[in-house]
A and B are shown apart, each in its own frame.
Chain A
Amino acid sequence: MSQRILDLKVNLNYTVPVIFVIEAVEEHWQKIYELSNDIISSLLGRVNELYFLGNSRSYPIVLPQDFIEQSPAWFNENKNRVSLLNPVFEEIEKKKFKGMIVVFCSKEPCDLEDWLESEILERTLFVMLSDEDFPLKYNLNYVEGIKGATYILSKIENPPEQAWIEAKGFVPLCYEIKQGGKAEIKFQDGKFLFSIIPEGERLEIHLKVISDDFPVLYLKRRKGQIESNEIKEELPWFKDPTWEEIPEDLKPIVEAGITKSNYKCNQCGEEHSYRVLICPEGGTVLKGIPMNSCVLFTKEKYFALSEWYALPLRHNQRVITRDGDLYEWRNGNWIYLRKVDIYEKVDDEVWALFHRI
C-alpha cells in the first residue's frame, strides 16, 4: 500500500485522426482523388497518412497540399497492386493507431475475411466506388462513394460517448474541468470512478488525487474498443487547503460540539444541545461558516470542503467527501463507512460536521 497524492493534468483531443487506404485502380482514381481531397480539406490536420491496399508503406500528409501535389505519383507507384488489407492493417496495428480508417475500394479486398470480427474493422469505413454490393454480405461500415464527401464525413466521425478515470486506490480530491464536459464521481465496488460526459472537441482537466496506481483515462467512442490514455503529472494546480480561524463568538459553540455538551446561544441566549445547528428563534448558529458542504474543525480553525470533493485523513487511509461521507482503505478497496455524525471525530484533533440547509 503506497497511497500517494498526485497532481495530474488531462489533455485529450476528442477528435479522431484518420488514415486513408486506397485501392490503386485507374478506373476510379479521379473519383478517389476528388473525394479524398474534399475530406482532407474538411478534416484539417486529421488525415496524416495514406496507404495503398497491398503496400505497407505509409505516405505522409503534413498539409492538404501534399495530397494534391504528390498523390498522383504515389498512385502510379501502386497502380494495380493486389487489394490486400493485411500489409496495411498489420502496419497500423504495429503503430497502435486508434483512429478511423477509410478504405476506398471498388472490390472486396482479397483478404477481407482475415479481419472479420476484428476490432480494427469496427473503426474502418469502406467507401465503395462501384456498383458491386460486396460489403453487404458482411456486417461492415460502408458508404457508397457516389453519396459525396459530406455524407462520407458524417460516417467518419466517431464521437466520444463516455470518459472516465480510474486506478487502484484512486480518489479525486479536487478537480477543475477547463473544457470538454461535465464530471460526475461515482463510488461502486470499492472504487471511485471519475466519470465525464464529453462535450466539445478537447478535454482539459486539472486534478488532485490520492491513488495507489497511476490513474488512466479511458474513453469509449461510438465505434471501436475502449481506449486508454496516459495522464501526465503536473506541478500542483490547486492551493493547499486553507484553514480559517473560527470567529471568537463561535468558538464556544464548536467547543460544545467537540465535547458533546450544551452551549449558550448567542442569538436567543438560551442553552442548546450541541446538536442544535439552527436556533428555533433565529437562523444558523454558526454564522459565516459555509454549511452546505462538510466542514472540518480543529479547536481553533475550520475548513469547508466546498471546493474540494474529498480530503484525505489518517495518513491517506481515510477520506471524507464534501457530502460528509466517510470512506476507509481496507484490503485494497475503499469501504464506505457512514455519513459523518455531528462533530464526529475523524482524525487526531479534527472533527467533522455536515449539515445541509
Chain B
Amino acid sequence: MADVGPIDKLYTDAWYRKILEVSQRQSWRKAEFTKTPWKMFLTGVPLEEIIPFLKYLGKGFRLPKAEEWRKLLEYSKELKNLKRELIACLEAFENLPAPPVLFWIEKGLYPLVEEGLLEMIETEKSPSKDEVICIGKAWQGLWPNTFSPESIKIIDFVLLPKAVGFRVVKEV
C-alpha cells in the first residue's frame, strides 16, 4: 500500500503490529531460510483484510483456486529441475527477487508447495465464522502435521493463525 497508505483501520501501524504479535517478523538478513522459513512470511491476516489488498493490486489479482494450486504442485518438480534456467531468467531482470526466494530456488525448494504454509484459496464454499479454507502443507517445524498438500482443509483460524498465509495470482 506504498502509494496510498492505510485504508481506514486496515494496514495502519497499529494493525500491522497486531499481526506481528501472531506472525513474528524476522529480518531476512539474519533469518535461517531453511530452519525457520515461515518467519519470512506474513501470516495470520484474516481473509476480509486480504481482499482490499488484492483490490489495491489491481484488476485480475486474486487468491488461487484449488485446481490452479494443484497444477503448481504438479509442475513444481519440473520447476526444481529448471532451477538454473530460472535463476538465469531472473538475473536478466534489474529487480531480482528478495534473497530468500533465490535461496529457495537454489536449494530446489521453490515454489514452496510440497511444504510451506497453509494457503487460503478462492472457493465458492463459505466457511463458518473463524474458519478458513486452505490448501497446502505446513512446515513441520511450524505445525507438526500429516497433511497431503493437495487436499483442501478447513482450518480454525483462531487456533492456528500463524500457519495460514496467502499467495496471489494474476489472471492473464
Contacts and interface: CB of A to CB of B under 8 A. Distances in A.
A81 interface: yes
A77 B27 contact: no
B29 interface: yes
B contact face: mostly helix, strand, loop, or mixed: loop
A69 B3 CA distance: 22
A4 to B, nearest CB: 37
B25 A111 contact: yes
Interface in B1-37: 2-3, 5-6, 11-17, 20, 25-30
B6 to A, nearest CB: 5
Of B11, B16, B26, chain A has the most CB atoms within 10 Å of the CB of B16
A95 to B, nearest CB: 17
A83 B12 CA distance: 9
A55 B13 contact: no
Taking residues whose C-beta sits less than 8 angstroms from the other chain, chain A's interface range is 20 to 34
Best-buried of B5, B25, B30 by chain A (most CB within 10 Å): B5
Main secondary structure of the interface of A (DSSP, over half): loop
Contacts of B28: 114
Contacts of A110: 13, 16-17, 20, 25
B27 A81 contact: no
A55 B27 contact: no
A113 B16 contact: no
A76 B20 CA distance: 25
A195 interface: no
Given A55-B5, A87-B2, A82 B30 contact: no
Given A81-B13, A82-B13, A111-B27, 18 more contacts: A23-B13, A55-B2, A55-B5, A78-B5, A79-B5, A79-B6, A80-B5, A80-B13, A81-B6, A82-B6, A82-B15, A87-B2, A110-B13, A110-B16, A110-B17, A113-B26, A113-B30, A116-B27
